[in-house]
């Protein structure tokens, strides 16, 4: 009997210690913050918050590091939280508005960070600064390429532009239409995501499809922030359009993709890539090396009207300033000077120990 009670007590302790500890991250208004990356102090991935700002289990971590593209990074002692809730402070990241328009191109300088995890362990990190020009008349983007991998940047900025454009069109639908939004171009249906937008008050709208909530739009003055569970949107679209092969592949990989973008609007409620403020993309899938997670953050750091000659000079100056190889110190100094949150000391130590990439 004594042995039985001892075994029971041991099992009870194991059960209690294994109990999931929930974390809820909110902004100053009490709204949940989606896509907060939650890491251990030594840089291992714990998870990301859902659309309600919740991560169901911090996996026993006593302290966690919270990062988000639009909020100040934070180290949190889980034992000090009331009900597992924590508030993150807005980054208050302001990008100067362009007023004069004497030249044909808009210059958009961007800083980006790429994190790749395999089985929750950080395996790869890349940061870079990229000059871009946007031709307003032709609606085309040209990006410079130097020192760091252009492919990595194309992935980050390409995704930001693609989903940013969709977010802007959803937002325009919110302003100019009511009910379901189908994106239509030239009379033909394009990328039907079958979403509706409902006003929740205080500048906040909920984006839904027939299967539930897929995101939120928040508007303050002329800046719009939109967060989407794009994976759910894509898979619902696959289902509706009979794209069974794509859908099965995504289901087999337990594919997930979530997106966050902030952009500025003009007086008519429109926006282009040139109005990008910041964006964050988060993918997850089952790959050959286990569960893969990829996070890409992009910040616009400068907007200006220029011509082709100016753009060439901009690229030349940046290339010289951040000569190959681009050192982490120089990149972090650039981030700090532009109001971008610095890497936390613990995460920086992990990055410094990673194998060097050519």
Q: Is the pLDDT of residue 247 over 80?
A: yes
What pLDDT is attached to residue 217? Answer: 86
What pLDDT is attached to residue 186? Answer: 41
CA 67, CA 82: separation in Å to the nearest integer?
Answer: 20
Q: Is the pLDDT of residue 185 over 50?
A: no
Average pLDDT over residues 236-256: 92
Q: Give tens-digit pLDDT for 100-109.
A: 778 899 888 8
What pLDDT is attached to residue 97? Answer: 72
* Distance (Å) of CA 326 to CA 187, 316, 338, 357: 47, 15, 17, 11
Confidence tier at 203 by pLDDT (50, 70, 90): confident
Confidence tier at 189 by pLDDT (50, 70, 90): very low
Q: Give tens-digit pLDDT for 254-282.
A: 999 998 888 887 666 666 667 788 888 89
Average pLDDT over residues 16-32: 84
Residue with token string 């009207």: 305
Residue 119 near residue 112 (C-beta atoms within 8 A): no
Residues 6+ apart with CB under 8 A from 3: none
What pLDDT is attached to residue 229? Answer: 93
User: What residues does each domain of the chain span?
Assistant: 2-87, 105-340
What pLDDT is attached to residue 327? Answer: 81
E strand intervals along the chain: 23-26, 37-39, 45-48, 54-55, 63-68, 71-77, 85-87, 105-118, 121-135, 140-143, 180-181, 184-185, 188-189, 195-201, 204-209, 212-220, 223-228, 256-264, 276-287, 290-306
CA 248, CA 251: separation in Å to the nearest integer?
Answer: 5
Of 136-145, 206-215, 244-253, the range with the lowest mean pLDDT is: 136-145
Residue 174 near residue 216 (C-beta atoms within 8 A): no
What pLDDT is attached to residue 155? Answer: 53
What pLDDT is attached to residue 3? Answer: 54
Confidence tier at 16 by pLDDT (50, 70, 90): very low
Report the share of the chain in percent with pLDDT over 70.
77
Q: Give tens-digit pLDDT for 297-318.
A: 889 998 899 999 999 898 888 8
What pLDDT is attached to residue 188? Answer: 42
* pTM summary value: 0.83
Q: Where is pLDDT greater, at 356 or 69?
A: 69
Q: Give tens-digit pLDDT for 70-115.
A: 999 999 999 999 889 999 999 877 777 777 778 899 888 888 888 8
Q: Where is pLDDT greater, at 24 or 108?
A: 24
What pLDDT is attached to residue 109? Answer: 87
What pLDDT is attached to residue 40? Answer: 94
| CATH number belonging to domain 2-87 | 2.60.40
Confidence tier at 182 by pLDDT (50, 70, 90): very low
Q: Where is pLDDT greater, at 22 or 132?
A: 22
Range with top average pLDDT, 49-58, 139-148, 160-169: 49-58
């Amino acid at each position: 009997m004594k042995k039985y009670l001892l075994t029971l007590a041991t099992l009870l302790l194991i059960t209690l210690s294994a109990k999931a500890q929930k974390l809820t991250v909110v902004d100053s208004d009490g709204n949940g913050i989606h896509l907060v990356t939650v890491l251990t102090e030594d840089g291992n991935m714990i998870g990301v918050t859902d659309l309600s700002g919740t991560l169901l289990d911090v996996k026993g971590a006593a302290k966690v590091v919270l990062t988000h593209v639009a909020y100040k990074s934070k180290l949190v002692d889980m034992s000090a939280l009331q009900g597992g809730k924590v508030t993150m402070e807005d980054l208050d990241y302001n990008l100067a508005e362009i007023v004069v328009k004497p030249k044909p191109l808009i210059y958009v300088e961007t800083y980006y960070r790429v994190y790749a995890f395999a089985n929750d362990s950080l395996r790869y990190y890349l940061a870079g600064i990229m000059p871009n020009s946007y031709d307003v008349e032709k609606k085309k983007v040209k990006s410079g390429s130097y020192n760091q991998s252009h492919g990595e940047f194309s992935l980050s900025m390409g995704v930001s532009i693609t989903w940013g454009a969709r977010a802007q069109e959803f937002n325009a639908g919110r302003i100019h239409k009511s009910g379901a939004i189908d994106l239509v171009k030239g009379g033909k249906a394009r990328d039907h995501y079958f979403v509706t937008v409902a006003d929740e008050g205080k500048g906040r709208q909920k984006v839904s499809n027939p299967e539930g909530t897929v995101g939120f739009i928040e508007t303050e003055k002329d800046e719009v922030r939109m967060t989407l569970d794009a994976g759910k949107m894509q898979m619902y679209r696959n289902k509706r359009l009979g794209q069974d092969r794509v859908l099965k592949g995504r289901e087999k990989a337990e594919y997930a993709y979530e997106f966050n973008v902030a952009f500025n609007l003009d007086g008519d409620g429109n926006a282009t890539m040139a109005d990008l403020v910041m964006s964050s993309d988060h993918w997850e899938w089952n790959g050959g090396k286990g569960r893969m997670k990829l996070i890409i953050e992009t910040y616009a750091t400068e907007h200006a009207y220029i011509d082709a000659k100016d753009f060439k000079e901009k690229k030349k100056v940046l290339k010289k300033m951040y000569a190959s190889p681009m050192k982490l110190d120089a990149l972090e100094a650039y981030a700090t000077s532009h109001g971008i949150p610095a890497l936390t000391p613990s995460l920086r130590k992990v990055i410094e120990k990673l194998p060097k990439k050519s």
